[in-house]
Amino acid sequence: MQVVLHAGAHNTDDDRLVRCLLKNRDSFFKRGIAVPRPTSYRRLIRDVLQAMEKGPLAPDARETLLEEILYGADHPERILFSNEHFFSVPKVAINKGVIYPGAERKLARFCEIFERDEVELFLAIRNPATFFPAVYAQSPTDDFLDFMGGADPRDVRWSELITRLREAVPQAQIHVWCNEDSPLLWAQLVREMAALEHNEKIIGGFDLLSEIMNKEGMKRFRGYLKEHPNMNEMQKRRVIAAFLDKFALEDELEEEVDLPGWTEDMVDSLSELYDEDVFEISRIPGVTMIEP
């Protein structure tokens, strides 16, 4: 079986991706792809992972887990899980300059549960200039420096996390993309998670786009697609970018950074470091960087 885990990161898609997958649940089922509801597995998998900290995995753990998640149905060829809290809750997302401390151990345990299967990890990353303030806002910590464990935000790298994950589970495929590119990649992300061909029809391929583009823009965009039915994915992305440039809802795209002492220079510096870090991630062996 192929086991797909979408593990966030926090404050990237806010469960939009799993909701889109669920819209395609019936058609995916006919292809041997299971999209279980998050309520059937999030707490259950968390409990199993916690139990593994105290003792070895029971021999029948995988079968028992799938039995509960799939309600006794036959095992699919591919199963899709999604949980932005898989690695941690937001309040401990960063500690002493490390993003998701211990993430590699959780993923290794997850792979141990499904050791007979092919595991794929899907992970969106986000510009630290907005990611750090977002997870900090979800934590009970009053002081940002305390939240960061005293680390300078400019020293924190997503590539460090991806390297840890890669080394911990070399057998797993890892797919990474920038959250900032999600509007252009949305349909591709759904297809990649389901292992579909590039031009196969899905439901909700423009769900995210409809949230950040005004109604007039979406109407014209859909009309343009009808007039040009044979566009490939690269052409569609260029069209999406052009329509966003003209019809985007600015309030949905603009993100205010309001932290004491954070200047525009600080935000620019973090953004430049993020671009460099994305390039480093693209060079990690065994990691697929999904890009527009």
What is the distance between the alpha carbons of residues 47 and 109, in angstroms, rounded to a whole number?
12
- Name, in order, each residue with C-beta under 8 angstroms of 86's C-beta and a sequence gap of 6 or more: 5, 7, 8, 45, 106, 110
Collapsed DSSP state (helix, strand, coil) of residue 213: strand
Inform me whether the pLDDT recorded for 278 exceeds 80: yes
* Tens digits of residue pLDDT in 99-119: 999 999 999 999 999 999 999
What is the distance between the alpha carbons of residues 25 and 259, in angstroms, rounded to a whole number?
41
User: Could you give the C-alpha distances from 117 to 13, 111, 113, 114, 262, in angstroms and in order?
Assistant: 27, 8, 9, 5, 46
- Taken in order 76, 81, 86, 89, is the CA torsion positive or negative? negative
Output the pLDDT for position 252.
63
Lowest mean per-residue pLDDT among 41-45, 125-129, 183-187, 256-260: 256-260
State mean pLDDT over 198-205: 90
Instruction: Give the strands of the sheet with 2-6, arranged side by side.
Output: 33-34, 78-82, 2-6, 118-125, 173-178, 287-290
- Name, in order, each residue with C-beta under 8 angstroms of 60's C-beta and a sequence gap of 6 or more: none
Confidence of residue 44 (pLDDT cuts 50, 70, 90): very high
| Extended beta strands in the chain, E state | 2-6, 33-34, 78-82, 94-95, 98-99, 118-125, 173-178, 287-290
State mean pLDDT over 11-35: 96
164-192 burial, b for 16+ CB within 10 Å, e for fewer? Answer: bbbebbeebebbbbbbbbbbbbbbbbbbb
CA dihedral 66, 72, 76, 79 (to 10 degrees): -40
The answer to whether 11 and 131 have CB atoms below 8 angstroms apart is yes
Nearest Cα neighbor of 282 from 64, 125, 90, 142 is 125
- Show the tokens assigned to 232: 């490939």
State mean pLDDT over 134-140: 94
Q: What is the pTM of this model?
A: 0.94
What the chain holds in terms of domains, given with CATH numbers, is 2-205+275-290 (3.40.50)
Higher per-residue pLDDT: 212 or 252: 212
Output the pLDDT for position 258.
78
- Taken in order 111, 114, 120, 122, is the CA torsion positive or negative? negative
